[in-house]
Chain A
Amino acid sequence: MMKRKIELLAPAKDLHKAKIAILYGADAVFIGGKQYSLRSRASNFTEEDMREAVHFAHKHGSKLYVTLNIVFHDEDLVGVVAYLQRLEAMGVDAVIIESLGLVQIGKKYAPGLEYHISTQLSSLNSEAANVLQAMGADRVVLGRETSMAEIEEIARRTKVELEVFIHGGMCANVSGRCTLSNHMTLRDANRGGCAQSCRWHYRLYDGSGRELSENEELFSMGSKDLTAAAYLERMVKIGISSLKIEGRMKSDYYIATVVKAYRRMLDEIAEKGSLSGERVAYYEAELDKAENRPSACGFLDGEMDVYKQLYQEGKSVRHDYVAYVIGYDEDRHEAIVSTRNPFSLGDELEVFGPKIVNERFYLTGIKDEEGYEISENKNPMRVLRLAIPFPVEESDMIRKVMNE
């Protein structure tokens, strides 16, 4: 395996997804515990699961980071130092945290952890990054409002490790500085309760009370998602430490698809020194297989205009992920799978996995749980056998080939 100079950092909301992220090529995974973490609706990790995730990550040469990225109120501080010490003891590599006060305390009582400053602190310039390093930060996660040119300038002017978002959902407002959800629903956006009020629809009025919106075209702050494939080569070349994929609420299929695509891009850049426009387009199509919302390059091109905003939903979930491989019967040439979405005999399917890149076949045989031949599957979570002309492995995924 080639030497990896830049870290690919993936999200995981539970142990299974952490393992998937690592198997599909993540150099590090960030997770949330039951407390202190945004994305409170993610299932999140018990400490027992964390221990297993650390063990699994380290066994595969990867790292595990734990988020303590809520904006702490005093009531949240109870037990946090002991929690940091437990994370340190179980071998967690770093915590992602917004509170600089807690960083000082953590450095004293849990010095074996690295402290990565969360994007909740909205660090957008090199001076702030340098100040944070002086205050104990081992890494700074830059805000998503920085352009590529600014990221290059920040990287040039600071020695602290920088982490940059490359893929996933975008907050329309500055992270940590948005309390729309707090005001409208009493759900604290900065403590994991964000109601995504920015994606709601609003009527707009001018100062005299005249409505400027119309029912068919209401105002919204919703943002398209971020895809930075076209900027990856530049990020590698300027020495960014870590490239972050957002999405702790996402499915295993999403994690696998996105991690695999970026892993391949990074490996291709490392091997060939560049990524052509044609190859970027190919990988963007790969990423698109897991998307259910339009994407754009966010602030990276230095522009933030109407083309980055989302006023109406432009995509729907594609349901092309049909099965997760749990085993392979070498004698019968059958994949043993756990089903996810409907499929039928004659469908063209595509397998991808940690070691397999988009192998296609036409489905010629399906057997049910009792071994009877069937012609289609309509239900999720069934264990079936699929006739397959090449070997597969546990953790591979099977999707339908859609119109291209």
Chain B
Amino acid sequence: MKLLVKVDSLVLANKVLMKENVAAVCLPAHFSVIELKSVVEKARENNKEVFVDACFLLLEKEMNEARNILRAVKESGVNYLLYTDLGFVSLAEEFGLRHTLFYDGGSLLTNSVDSFFYRQNNAGVVLARELTLTEIRRIGAIVKNRISLFVGGFLTMSVSRRHFLHSYFQYRDQKRDTKGVFWLEEVKRPQQRFPIVEDKHGTTIYTEGIYLPYEEYAELSELCEYGIFDTRLLRQEEIMVILEDFSTLTSENAQEKLRILRARFPERTFDSGYLYRKTNVNK
């Protein structure tokens, strides 16, 4: 497995690229050609790769924005474009960038038939986070491990093109900046708080816990091409500690490392996501 780290700043990108166990960084799509070039150069010097994250859905009026992203990918020499909207497929052809396409279906890529189909047509595919370890093993076996997996970070619970925070403040006649992270607590589940973030594409809600499969990390590493660590909403200190742990994790020391991590960041919840949580059609 190659470790791919999603970061949201150039400073963090450069810092992460210096870590020996990191094979690639993934930057948000809003960076300029010059900024991307600087990261690409640094990555190449260290024999590493750069991804650009365009995992959002495109409205018709946003096609020029998508073209600008592809232009930047081409001019900066970025290796791969992580995308979720199939509109990028035909746009990438326009730019001669079909070979850079790396599909992340969000919650949609959940079976071997689709994994095989998308992998045939892309440089890589990222499986849904809502899969059990048994399901991942099965898909891995069928598609010969030509899959990529999420190995750390907050899991996305929902994506909307609506601006829920803005609307809510409008409903309450409040003028408030919606930048930054807010938290939701369902009235009947007061023990859980979910991060909610708004940007120009809408609103994203994340899980309350940070997915961190330390005990399964070694096995997951064997099952996939890229393991994705998404650092969104994490503090730099947390990111660097987790990256350090990833470099030395074994099935023998995983439990102890997780115990130390929990002791160091007691305000955080770390969990194994869906690896052992099977969802039902009806309950």
Listed in ascending order, the chain A residues whose CB lies under 8 Å from chain B are 40-41, 71-77, 98-102, 104-105, 120-128, 130-132, 143, 145-147, 149-150, 153-154, 172-174, 176-180, 182-188, 190-193, 197-198, 200-207, 209, 212-214, 217-219, 221, 223, 299, 304-306, 308-309, 311
The answer to whether B180 and A74 have CB atoms under 8 Å apart is: no
Name the residue in A120, A183, A212, A309 with the highest tally of chain B Cβ atoms < 10 Å from its Cβ.
Answer: A183
The contact of A99 among B114, B167, B168, B181, by CB within 8 Å, is B114
Contacts of B279 in A (CB 8 A): 182, 186-188, 191, 193
Would you give 23 A-B contacts (Cβ < 8 Å), ordered by A?
A71-B107, A72-B111, A74-B135, A123-B86, A125-B59, A126-B60, A172-B160, A176-B108, A179-B107, A182-B130, A187-B281, A193-B279, A200-B187, A203-B185, A203-B187, A204-B185, A205-B183, A206-B180, A207-B183, A217-B172, A309-B162, A311-B168, A311-B171
User: Quick check: which of B17-25, B71-79, B87-95 contacts chain A, the rest being far away?
Assistant: B87-95
The answer to whether B60 and A124 have CB atoms under 8 Å apart is: yes
List residues 222-237 of chain B with CB under 8 A from any CB of chain A. none
The answer to whether B108 and A98 have CB atoms under 8 Å apart is: yes
Having A146-B59, A200-B186, A205-B184, one finds 9 other A-B pairs with CB under 8 Å, namely A101-B113, A121-B86, A127-B90, A179-B156, A187-B281, A193-B279, A200-B188, A212-B176, A221-B162
The answer to whether A192 and B114 have CB atoms under 8 Å apart is: no
Complex CA–CA separation, A223 to B196 (angstroms): 18
Q: How far is the CB of A217 from chain B (nearest CB, A)?
A: 6
Q: How far is the CB of A73 from chain B (nearest CB, A)?
A: 5
Closest to A209 in B: B183
Contacts of A188 in B (CB 8 A): 130, 279-281
Complex CA–CA separation, A121 to B106 (angstroms): 11
List residues 51-85 of chain B with CB under 8 A from any CB of chain A. 57-63, 85
The contact of B90 among A75, A100, A130, A206, by CB within 8 Å, is A130
Q: How far is the CB of A396 from chain B (nearest CB, A)?
A: 35
Complex CA–CA separation, A217 to B111 (angstroms): 41
Complex CA–CA separation, A12 to B156 (angstroms): 33
Kindly state whether residue B277 has any CB partner on chain A within 8 Å: yes
Contact A201/B135 with A125-B63, A128-B85, A180-B158 known, Cβ cut-off 8 Å: no
What is the number of residues of chain B that contact chain A, defined by CB distance less than 8 Å?
Answer: 74
Contact residues of B: prevailing secondary structure: mixed
The answer to whether A172 and B85 have CB atoms under 8 Å apart is: no
Complex CA–CA separation, A185 to B91 (angstroms): 39
Closest to B159 in A: A177
The answer to whether A180 and B59 have CB atoms under 8 Å apart is: no
Q: How far is the CB of A384 from chain B (nearest CB, A)?
A: 37
Q: How far is the CB of B131 from chain A (nearest CB, A)?
A: 7
The answer to whether A304 and B59 have CB atoms under 8 Å apart is: no
Contacts of A180 in B (CB 8 A): 157-158, 205
Q: How far is the CB of A124 from chain B (nearest CB, A)?
A: 5
Contacts of B138 in A (CB 8 A): 74
Q: How far is the CB of B268 from chain A (nearest CB, A)?
A: 15
The answer to whether A204 and B111 have CB atoms under 8 Å apart is: no
The contact of A101 among B111, B156, B207, by CB within 8 Å, is B111
Kindly state whether residue B47 has any CB partner on chain A within 8 Å: no
Contacts of B221 in A (CB 8 A): none
The contact of A204 among B60, B131, B183, B189, by CB within 8 Å, is B183
Q: How far is the CB of A102 from chain B (nearest CB, A)?
A: 6
The answer to whether A146 and B281 have CB atoms under 8 Å apart is: no
Contacts of B158 in A (CB 8 A): 173-174, 177-180, 198
Name the residue in B185, B187, B281 with the highest tally of chain A Cβ atoms < 10 Å from its Cβ.
Answer: B281
The answer to whether A125 and B87 have CB atoms under 8 Å apart is: yes
Closest to A191 in B: B281
Contacts of B265 in A (CB 8 A): none
Contacts of B116 in A (CB 8 A): 101
Chain B window 169-194, contacts with chain A (Cβ cutoff 8 Å), 1 for yes, 0 for no: 01110101000111111111100010
Closest to B131 in A: A73
Contacts of A207 in B (CB 8 A): 180-183
Complex CA–CA separation, A212 to B175 (angstroms): 12
Contacts of A179 in B (CB 8 A): 107, 130, 156-158
Contacts of A309 in B (CB 8 A): 162, 164, 167-168, 171
Complex CA–CA separation, A198 to B196 (angstroms): 13
The answer to whether A128 and B86 have CB atoms under 8 Å apart is: yes
Closest to A154 in B: B60
The answer to whether B108 and A185 have CB atoms under 8 Å apart is: no
The answer to whether B114 and A124 have CB atoms under 8 Å apart is: no
List residues 101-134 of chain B with CB under 8 A from any CB of chain A. 106-108, 110-118, 128, 130-131
The answer to whether B160 and A174 have CB atoms under 8 Å apart is: yes
The answer to whether B114 and A127 have CB atoms under 8 Å apart is: no
The contact of B86 among A132, A178, A198, A306, by CB within 8 Å, is A132
The answer to whether B159 and A205 have CB atoms under 8 Å apart is: no
The contact of A299 among B113, B161, B184, B196, by CB within 8 Å, is B161
Q: How far is the CB of B37 from chain A (nearest CB, A)?
A: 27
Contact A304/B86 with A127-B63, A187-B283, A207-B180 known, Cβ cut-off 8 Å: no
Contacts of A99 in B (CB 8 A): 111, 113-114
Complex CA–CA separation, A42 to B181 (angstroms): 38
Contact A205/B182 with A131-B89, A192-B281 known, Cβ cut-off 8 Å: yes
The contact of B193 among A100, A200, A205, A304, by CB within 8 Å, is A205
Kindly state whether residue B282 has any CB partner on chain A within 8 Å: yes
Kindly state whether residue B147 has any CB partner on chain A within 8 Å: no
Closest to A312 in B: B171
Contacts of B59 in A (CB 8 A): 124-125, 145-147, 150
Complex CA–CA separation, A95 to B135 (angstroms): 26
Kindly state whether residue B139 has any CB partner on chain A within 8 Å: yes
The answer to whether A124 and B281 have CB atoms under 8 Å apart is: no
The contact of A186 among B87, B165, B280, by CB within 8 Å, is B280
Complex CA–CA separation, A192 to B282 (angstroms): 7
Contacts of B86 in A (CB 8 A): 121, 123, 127-128, 131-132
The answer to whether B157 and A183 have CB atoms under 8 Å apart is: yes
Complex CA–CA separation, A359 to B97 (angstroms): 63
Complex CA–CA separation, A271 to B161 (angstroms): 37
